């Protein structure tokens, strides 16, 4: 989150009135993330104060946004701890502020766990699997916009900022991922809507209970295994070595598999998808670090973290034989 477009108190109040959410009490820009403008707002209605997030979309188009917002609504209605988009009197959940598409969602309780325990990882794994299962009958489709096509287009753009060693790594990994994507095993991976960005700062907890999963604005239809790999890379990483912490890795993977057992093909390709997830976020962080946009409160992420993860995943592929968890032949 960041603030690219300033919204006045009166503009926010007007939108809250359209949504029948009451009188605006406070609004504060958020400094987390890098893609959209976000404000935390509070509103009073009938003597009660409720909390929301107002988002202005800086890159996504009004044509793309219904997928994200409708997916969130679909999952929230299935009982998942996902923000619910607020509708106006006509039932519309996509709005306009400052000439830009906007949405208001309820702000979920809890706080992010930036140093997760195995219990936090298990809660996240189970919720991710539920998200995948409940999304199977979501009837809208949008490709993962930060998938392989974007990687192929972005590597030449960021390559001038890399040294020779980094350049060789990114080229060889891209070639490897194109090879994997052309395989019959990859084509057989179960697919559906994925979050695609479920990092530690996009989940909320109260104690060990997961109370929220948010920021769905990188979501798309892709392999569920890629989504799982994104989470395993972030939630189980040892910050000193970039290797996965075995206890947290097993906790997340086992909890996921208890809800949705992995197929044999998924077990086979998990090492490759862990590398794919590392490449995707190394690329996006290189892009944001070297080609930044102007924004108040912007906090760019360090690209080196995912470069290290990619090197480690390539040098030491994860062997799932050390993790005892269920398998199945069907999604």
Task: Give CA 274 to chain center in angstroms.
Answer: 15
What average pLDDT does range 51-75 have in this prediction? Answer: 95
97 and 168, same domain (yes or no): no
* pLDDT score of 331 more than 80: no
317 and 255, same domain (yes or no): yes
* pLDDT score of 106 more than 90: yes
220 and 295, same domain (yes or no): yes
CATH number at residue 17: 3.30.200.20
Residue 200 backbone phi and psi in degrees, to 5: -55, -35
What average pLDDT does range 71-77 have in this prediction? Answer: 97
pLDDT in tens, 257-315: 999 999 999 999 999 999 999 999 999 999 999 988 654 445 567 899 999 999 999 99
Residue with tokens 């400094």: 31
Last residue of a domain, one of 72, 106, 140: 106
Give 253's pLDDT tier (boundaries 50, 70, 90): very high
Residue 34 has what pLDDT? 67
Cβ distance 195 to 124 under 8 Å? no
Contacting residues for 95 by C-beta, under 8 A, at least 6 apart: 15, 18, 19, 88, 101, 102, 103, 104
- Is residue 223 situated within a structural domain? yes
- Is residue 67 situated within a structural domain? yes
- Is residue 30 situated within a structural domain? yes
143 and 95, same domain (yes or no): no
* pLDDT score of 182 more than 70: yes
Give 61's pLDDT tier (boundaries 50, 70, 90): confident
Residue 62 has what pLDDT? 87
Residue 36 belongs to what domain range?
A: 9-106
31 and 141, same domain (yes or no): no
Last residue of a domain, one of 59, 80, 106: 106
């Amino acid at each position: 989150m960041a603030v690219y477009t300033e919204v006045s108190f009166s503009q926010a109040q007007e939108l809250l009135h359209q949504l029948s959410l009451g009188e605006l009490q406070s609004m504060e820009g958020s400094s987390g993330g890098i893609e959209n403008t976000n404000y935390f707002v509070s509103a009073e209605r009938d003597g009660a104060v409720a909390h929301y997030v107002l988002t202005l979309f800086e890159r996504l188009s009004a044509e793309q946004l219904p997928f994200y917002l409708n997916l969130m609504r679909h999952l929230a209605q299935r009982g998942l701890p996902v923000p619910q988009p607020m509708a106006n009197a006509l039932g519309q959940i996509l709005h306009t502020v400052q000439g830009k598409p906007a949405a208001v969602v309820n702000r979920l309780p809890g706080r992010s766990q930036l140093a997760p325990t195995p219990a936090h990882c298990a809660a996240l794994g189970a919720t991710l699997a539920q998200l995948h299962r409940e999304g199977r009958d979501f009837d809208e489709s949008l490709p993962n916009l930060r998938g392989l096509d974007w990687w192929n287009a972005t590597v030449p753009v960021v390559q001038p900022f890399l040294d020779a060693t980094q350049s060789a790594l990114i080229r060889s990994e891209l070639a490897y991922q194109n090879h994997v994507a052309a395989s019959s095993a990859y084509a057989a991976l179960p697919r559906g809507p994925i979050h695609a960005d479920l990092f530690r700062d996009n989940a909320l907890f109260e104690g060990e209970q997961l109370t929220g999963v948010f920021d769905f604005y990188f979501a798309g239809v892709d392999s569920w295994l890629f989504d799982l790999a994104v989470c395993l890379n972030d939630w189980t990483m040892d910050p000193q070595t970039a290797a996965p912490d075995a206890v947290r890795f097993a906790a997340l993977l086992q909890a996921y598999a208890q809800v949705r057992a992995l197929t044999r093909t998924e077990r086979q390709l998990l090492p490759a998808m862990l590398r794919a997830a590392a490449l995707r976020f190394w690329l996006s962080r290189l892009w944001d670090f070297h080609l930044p946009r102007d924004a108040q409160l912007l906090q760019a992420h360090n690209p080196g973290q995912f470069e290290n993860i990619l090197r480690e995943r390539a040098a030491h592929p994860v062997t799932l034989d050390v993790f005892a968890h269920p398998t199945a032949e069907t999604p």
